[in-house]
Amino acid sequence: MAERIELKHAPRSAKEGRMDDVEWLPAPLTASRVRVRRPQHGDEAALVALFTDEDVRQFVGGPLGTDDAQRRAARIVADGSWGDFVVEILAERAVIGSGDLRRKRGPWEISYQFDRAYWGLGLASEMLTALVSWFFAATDENLLIAVTQDANRRSAQLLERAGGRSSGTFQQYGAVQRRYEFRRGSVSCGGDA
């Protein structure tokens, strides 16, 4: 049984977590059926659809109102921040998912969301494998985490399928959260990226 972990920020060394010299996705990551790339103008409508969807947002704070969703989508596209990504399905050239890599609570952490119509097809697994592989190849980091509500079965299965190891639970936002770890050298790299 995984230990129960304290929610606290990991100490940061001067170098740890700095990505000044690492370009964020200099080229899209292409897997069998999806492409992971930086957000760009034209992605706003797909992002708004994700942010306002009840199913997609069930375990990530609930759906945003349309105005908030439009503001967030516009900001993501305009800012071009390190870590923001969208997922395109190659067959349709349509954006079906999005997410980010951030230091939210210490280590680098990946979050993601996919359009409900594209769940259950292994497309998120392609995205995750491609991004985790890229992260360890492009940076000197040894740890990437993901945090998901314990009740979010799909997300937990996705993380385990991609080689994530559960490292404990903690309470946040009124729910039990489970932390998963990906470590350099212990990742299942099944993607083409």
23 or 123: CB nearest ligand COA = 123
Instruction: State the minimum distance, in angstroms, from the CB of residue 117 to ligand COA.
Output: 10
Residue 98 interacts with ligand COA (CB under 6 A): yes or no:
no
Check residue 56 for interaction with ligand COA (CB under 6 A).
yes
Q: Which of 20/134 has CB closer to ligand COA?
A: 134
Rule CB under 6 A: say whether 120 interacts with ligand COA: yes
Residue bearing tokens 């109102």: 65
Tokens of 130: 């491609």
- Contact between 87 and ligand COA by CB under 6 A: the answer reads no
Query: Please, what's the largest Cα pairwise distance for the chain?
Result: 45
- Position with the least CB separation from ligand COA: 122
- Under the criterion CB under 6 A, does residue 129 sit at the interface with ligand COA? no
Give the number of residues in contact with ligand COA, rule: CB under 6 A: 20
Q: Which long-range contacts (CB under 8 A, 24 or more apart) does 150-159 make?
A: 150/175, 150/176, 150/177, 150/178, 151/59, 151/175, 151/176, 152/58, 152/59, 154/119, 155/59, 156/180, 158/124, 158/125, 158/128, 159/128
In the set 64, 84, 125, 144, which binds ligand COA (CB under 6 A)? Answer: 125
d(CA 120, CA 149): 19
Least distance to ligand COA, CB of residue 145, Å: 11
Terminus-to-terminus CA distance in the chain, angstroms? Answer: 33
Paired strand residues for 143: 183
Cα separation, 1 vs 183, in Å, equals 19
Q: For the CB of residue 49, give the shortest distance to ligand COA in the complex, in Å.
A: 12
Q: Are 113 and 98 in contact, with CB atoms under 8 Å apart? A: yes
Choose which of 98, 133, 155, 177 interacts with ligand COA (CB under 6 A): 155
- By the rule CB under 6 A, 177 interacts with ligand COA: no
Contact region with ligand COA (CB under 6 A), list: 2-10, 21-29, 68-76, 110-118? 110-118
- 38 or 98, CB closer to ligand COA? 98
Measured in whole angstroms, the distance separating CA 147 from the mean position of its chain's CA atoms is 10
